[in-house]
Structure 1
Amino acid sequence: MQRPRVLFVDDSRLMRSCAQAILGERFELLLADSAEQAWQMLLEQPGIMVVFSDLQMKGESGYWLLSRIRCCTDPALVDLPFVLITGDDDEGCRHDALQRGATDFINKPFEDTELLARATAYARSGQSARRLRLLERDHHLDSATRLGNRRYCEERLIQAMSFARRHNQPIVLMHLRLDGLSQLLEELGSPHAERALARIGRTLAERIRREDTVFRTDDEVFTFLLPATRADGARRLQERFLPDLAEMGLQPDDSALSVTAAFVVQQPDPEQIERAADLLAEGLARRAPKNDLPASAGTVLSAGQPDLEQALALLEQGDADSVRRSLPALRRRLQPLLALLADTEQAQSAQTPNITRLSVVRRD
């Protein structure tokens, strides 16, 4: 029988050794010496049932780890039981820990039976929660792509906006529109369409960052929830997220039908959390802006639009017309580089020493 997995976080080697002696026989115990290492382990090690974490550590604190867990969009992590270990017996400290989302707390030095009882109780509750999530999962999934559906996106958006409001952080919704997808899938027929949608789901899920979540929010729309991200940062992620439509068979050469891709970037105000569902609906109703709009209004990235290297190659081939159509988008993407180049040249010019002419006086 597989033992429940428990994560114990403390920068003291002695405390980690104590935890190993107390919990090692009954649990699969994972040990971390910092909050940063613990967060990485949570992302990489599935099935952790409960976290015990010291409050004050070198580097980030236990509060930092708690906040990362509570704002995570992964349902397996966001509600994870979290027991804070502290040497402070102050009632105010305990109240603060609970307000931040801690499940429980224990004081140092702790008794063997106290730590073991907490681990046993919360590991059981974690296992029960996991079974409940498995039962609920199908209600939140798009069956074709195995991505979260629109309902799940709304729920996660509310949670993310709540955290962003509490911590004064930005949040972005980025909608990838695959125009023509429905028509093409209908032409391909059922077996091919099912495989294509499953492949789209796998591809998008593999390309997102660990902190992001992607959903299928409409027949031809996939929505990325990007916490702690601004609109300009979201635009830099577009190439990473955009699937290769031709490689996936969504732009067949022998068909009059093909799929074109474009992004719509939306930055909801966390203060409008009560309008989360309406904000999502508004974003899904928006169309990608034209290339002549400023970058702040949104950026279009279509599957057929050349990047810089492709544009240079087209110019070498004498195909200036294809490049000319994409000049506004190319210029926006080059603007930070051009600004840096101008600043560098100006600085170098200011540092160039003046040449002073010396007059040589001849004396007889």
Structure 2
Amino acid sequence: MNAVTRSNSSRPRILFVDDSRLMRACATRILGQDFDLLLAESAEAAWELLQDDASIEALFSDLHMDGKSGFDLLQQVRQADQPHLVDLPVVLITGEEDGETRRKHALMLGATDFISKPFQASELLARASAYSQTSQSAKRLRLLEEEHHVDPETGLGNRRYCEERLMQAMSFAHRHQQPLVLMHLRLDGLTALLEEMGEPHAERALQRIGDTLKRRIRREDTAFRTEPETFSFLLAATDAEGAEKLQRRFMPDLEELGLCPEDEALAVKAGFIVQTPPPMNGRDGAQILEEGLSGEATPVSAVGAPSTSVPGIEQALRLLDQGREDQVTPHLEALRERLQPLLDLMGRGGALASGEGAKRDLH
């Protein structure tokens, strides 16, 4: 790997990838004066640079290289988790042997443009200038969108973003026949507690709550702050039972954050609402979200805690299937008493069957 060190932060940063030392030298001569140029001699080295440097504004890559090809690098970029890579302008450098079929394949993979060898200096400069400007505009737009979608106090998605994502997720779930749950964590008394803490401590507390909630959910899920005391979670491909499991995972976090203290003047009472969004039927995300937020929360003390009442036989079997033996064990004696008449009947039935079998043997 070879790279030119950034000397002027105002210059657009370009990554040029080619396994030919001569081509890299040509790129340096043509682009080095106007751009902050990074050079890589392989797709593997280029991918490392792209992972580490979000300031790269355009990628130029040779199509044919030892090891991974330009096609492979393009595919990695377009399938990346980072939004700035998915939108990165990628210009593939093709040779005389690359016909229309290869170019169509590259376009299908997400190539932005092509440039043919041997390229003219003016052609390479024009492409680099145009696509670096496009990338800068896209970054500015993405930052504006992120600010528009983020709750500034917690770093979670805000209510408007939740409404937008809910509509998208409902449409996807309907098309693919997948379950979807919108789960709400209500922290009654949080506002009063934050006011009592004072501004600097309240800011840190809200940021910590946001970080904790984001850490607990899966990558495919999204967390939002939908009301001052309510946090919502869009759980893809999850049913009500899966949401209940996630609630139990939240318990240690809520205790660690001190959000369910007992016998305190400013106690924060935590509770969950599990909402299975119904068919849209002309309603928008705001209406559907409001229906869930207006529901009655199940207190945290009742979530995942051993029940004080004896569960029914079917309920006990479901709890065992879910791996919740701790909720069944305290009631084993009571369950045995309930089952005893059935066990006695089964015993009598077995003895009767044995007696009838013995009679048949005698005859």
TM-score bracket for the superposition, by shorter chain length = 0.5 to 0.7
Partner of 1:5: 13
1:186 aligns with 2:176: no
Larger radius of gyration: 2
Q: Which runs of 5+ in 2 are unaligned?
A: 1-7, 326-363
C-alpha separation between the residues in 1 aligned to 2:23 and 2:207? 43
> 2:90 corresponds to which residue?
82
Gap regions ≥5 residues in structure 1: 291-299, 307-318, 336-364
Task: Map 1:215-364 to 2 at 5 A.
Answer: 215-219=224-228, 220-224=230-234, 230-231=237-238, 238=246, 242=250, 244-255=253-264, 257-260=267-270, 262=272, 278=285, 281=288, 285=292, 305=304, 328=318, 331-333=321-323
Contact 1:82-1:103 within 8 A present in 2 as well: yes
CA RMSD of aligned residues (A): 5.4
Asked if residue 67 in structure 1 is aligned to residue 66 in structure 2, the reply is no
Which of residues 139, 143, 155 is equivalent to 1:146?
155
Distance 1:116 1:150 in 2: 44
| Alpha-carbon distance between aligned partners in 1 of 2:189 and 2:227, rounded to the nearest angstrom | 14
**Partner-residue secondary structure (3-state), 1:50:** strand
CA distance in 1, matches of 2:146, 2:24: 38
Q: Give the equivalent residue in structure 1 for 2:328.
A: none
Q: Deviations over 1:19-71 (max 9, x none)?
A: 76355563242648347972x654543222223345567567245235315xx
- Give the Cα–Cα distance (whole angstroms) in 1 for the partners of residues 60 and 91 of structure 2: 5
Query: Aligned equivalents of 2:49 and 2:287: distance in 1?
Result: 32
Quote the offset at 1:251 in angstroms.
Answer: 1.7
- Decide whether the 8 Å contact of 2:167 with 2:285 is kept in 1: no
Task: Return the alpha-carbon distance in structure 1 between the equivalents of residues 38 and 169 of structure 2.
Answer: 30
- Distance across 2 between alignment mates of 1:265 and 1:224: 10
- Distance (Å, rounded) in 1 between the aligned partners of 2:139 and 2:28: 27
CA contact (8 A) 2:14 2:58 kept: yes
Contact 1:238–1:263 under 8 Å retained in 2? no
CA distance in 2, matches of 1:19, 1:210: 42
Q: TM-score, normalised by structure 2?
A: 0.57
Does the 8 Å contact 2:92/2:113 carry over to 1? yes
Q: Can you list the C-alpha shifts for 1:309-362, whole angstroms capped at 9, x where unaligned?
A: xxxxxxxxxx99699899855642589xxxxxxxxxxxxxxxxxxxxxxxxxxx
TM-score, normalised with respect to structure 1: 0.57
Alpha-carbon distance in 2 for matches of 1:54, 1:170? 42
| 2:138 aligned to which of 129, 132, 135 | 129
Percent sequence identity over aligned pairs: 42
CA distance in 1, matches of 2:249, 2:55: 27
**Match in the other structure for 1:347:** none
Give the SS at the match of 1:260: strand
Give the 3 Å change call, closer, same or farther, for CA 248–334 of structure 1 in structure 2.
closer
What is the match of residue 46 of structure 1? 54
Assess, with a 3 A threshold, how the Cα gap between structure 1 residues 278 and 193 changes in structure 2: closer, same or farther: same
Report the alpha carbon displacement of residue 244 of structure 1 after superposing the two structures with TM: 0.9
